[in-house]
Amino acid sequence: MRAYPETVAQADVQRAVLALAAGQVIAHPTETVFGLAADPFHPVAVQHLLCLKGRLASKGFIVLIPDRQGLDRLILPPVPLARRLMDHFWPGPLTLVLPARPDLPAEVTGGGGWLAVRQSSSPLVAALLHAWQGPLISTSANPTGQPPARSAVEVHRHWGAAIAVVLAGATPVEAQPSTLLQVEGERVQLLRAGAVAEEAWRAVVGSPPGQS
């Protein structure tokens, strides 16, 4: 059962958008875990997010997109296998790690030439991205090494006023983080097991369990 709202107050979304434009960090529920969001093209915002998380810049971030039309700004043209996975699982809890555009900030990609991207199935996230009209960094709302937050109360407990806007809602109790797959040509590597079962994505990839 979904625990996040199907709709979100427009005034709250606009407050979040104004905060993002000012280079601040916000928090919001998704269909997986509670997330922190920031503008991937705002250096101050990215550095602030790294400090809040206690995260190494070399790890990179997941970037949420409002729709697939926005991918051209972020990644190189996706190979057929990546497009097939998008067709089956987006919007949804599958994150694809794909070759990044060379002009993306190294703090977002981790400097390795790859970018993790996802189109969320959360109505709240869709409303936020539609209002923002662009991609947003998304990372689990917890200091590095601690369990992900699943409510606004937990986000406030971690950071208090350091988060500019916390959108109301909670995540499903049983929700897992998104499944993370790296796609290179016709080869897929599982980087993190998660909400999309291995049997499901293997059926699209066409390889049996235990084989990349």
Q: How far apart are CA 25 and CA 161, in angstroms?
A: 11
Mean pLDDT along residues 202-211: 77
Whether residue 8 is predicted with pLDDT greater than 50 in this model: the reply is yes
Q: How confident is the model at residue 190 (pLDDT cuts 50, 70, 90)?
A: very high
Helices (H), the chain: 10-21, 43-53, 80-89, 106-109, 123-132, 152-159, 198-205
Q: In the prediction, which pLDDT does 98 show?
A: 98
Q: How confident is the model at residue 116 (pLDDT cuts 50, 70, 90)?
A: very high
The total number of residues shown for the chain amounts to: 212
Domain boundaries of the chain, sorted by first residue: 10-205
Q: How far apart are CA 60 and CA 207, in angstroms?
A: 28
Q: Which two tokens stand for residue 110?
A: 């981790």
pLDDT digits (tens, 9 = 90+) for 64-77: 999 999 899 999 99
Residue 6's DSSP bridge partners are none
CATH architecture classification, 10-205: Alpha-Beta Complex (3.90)
**Whole-prediction pTM:** 0.90
Q: Which two tokens stand for residue 50?
A: 């790294």
Give the HSE-up count for residue 33: Cα atoms under 13 Å, Cβ half-sphere: 19
Residue 65's DSSP bridge partners are none
